[in-house]
Amino acid sequence: MTKNKIRLLGLVTLFVFPLPSYLWWHFYEKQSLTDFLQVKHFSISSILSGTLVGILFAFIINNITNSAFFQKIPLKVEKMIRDMHLSYLDALFLSICAGVGEELLFRSGIQPYLGVILTSIIFVAIHGYFSIKQPSVSFYGLLVLPFIIVIGYGFVFWGVWFSIFAHIFYDLTLFIILIGKGSGNDLVDEDLLQL
């Protein structure tokens, strides 16, 4: 997959994923854009809490996946990241796109109707971490599921910005770790600077 396609997918995630949720809230629940974006919950405490939770879970999951048990399980996310040859700037861009777009879709749009647990299971399944054909892949899904449940409950208690920042910094931390393992010192990809 080329970097332009990756960037396009990031932009689609950022701008298209939240649309169904926003349109539902706007037309059926009669909520404004500021209500949908939970501007009143945009606070330093929700941002810092989400950031810390995301980083903490990323390090925990990274340490577990580096154990002998997981070394026998091919984690397609690691291979995919290595194959994309992402720079750290790419990682930041994709983390923001996924954190904002996916959380507005799942937390604001789906979770109020399906609840935390079912929405979290769907979220992990859609990302391909549950597999009937490859049960070993499901171990990673079961590993990441508690994090997704935590950000689901974080949404309930602290709002969508907690969930967004937890997601962004979870992804970004893992990207940084995986890029550092695979690409040496490529800090900035020159063609990304031309966006």
In tens, the pLDDT along 21-45 reads: 999 999 998 999 999 999 988 999 9
pTM equals: 0.88
Residue 99, both tokens: 């954190």
Cβ atoms of 140 and 73 within 8 Å: the answer is yes
Contacts of 167 (CB under 8 A, 6+ apart): 50, 54, 95, 98, 99, 102, 103, 151
Q: pLDDT-based confidence at 75, cuts 50/70/90?
A: low
Q: Which domain holds residue 152?
A: 76-185
Per-residue pLDDT tens for 127-184? 988 888 877 778 889 999 999 999 999 999 999 999 999 999 999 999 999 888 875 4
Asked if residue 21 is part of any domain, the answer here is no
Asked if residue 106 is part of any domain, the answer here is yes
Torsion of Cα atoms, 81 then 87 then 93 then 99, to 10°? 40
Asked if residue 135 is part of any domain, the answer here is yes
Per-residue pLDDT tens for 91-123? 999 999 999 999 999 999 999 999 999 999 999
Contacts of 14 (CB under 8 A, 6+ apart): 96, 97, 100, 101
Q: pLDDT-based confidence at 188, cuts 50/70/90?
A: very low
Asked if residue 170 is part of any domain, the answer here is yes
Asked if residue 122 is part of any domain, the answer here is yes
Asked if residue 49 is part of any domain, the answer here is no
Q: What was the pLDDT predicted at 150?
A: 98
Distance CA 101, CA 51 (A): 17
Distance CA 113, CA 153 (A): 14
Asked if residue 142 is part of any domain, the answer here is yes
Give the chain's mean pLDDT. Answer: 87
For the chain, the domain total comes to 1
Q: What was the pLDDT predicted at 184?
A: 42
Q: pLDDT-based confidence at 195, cuts 50/70/90?
A: very low
Asked if residue 7 is part of any domain, the answer here is no
Q: What was the pLDDT predicted at 20?
A: 94
Cβ atoms of 112 and 35 within 8 Å: the answer is no
First CA to last CA distance, the chain = 18
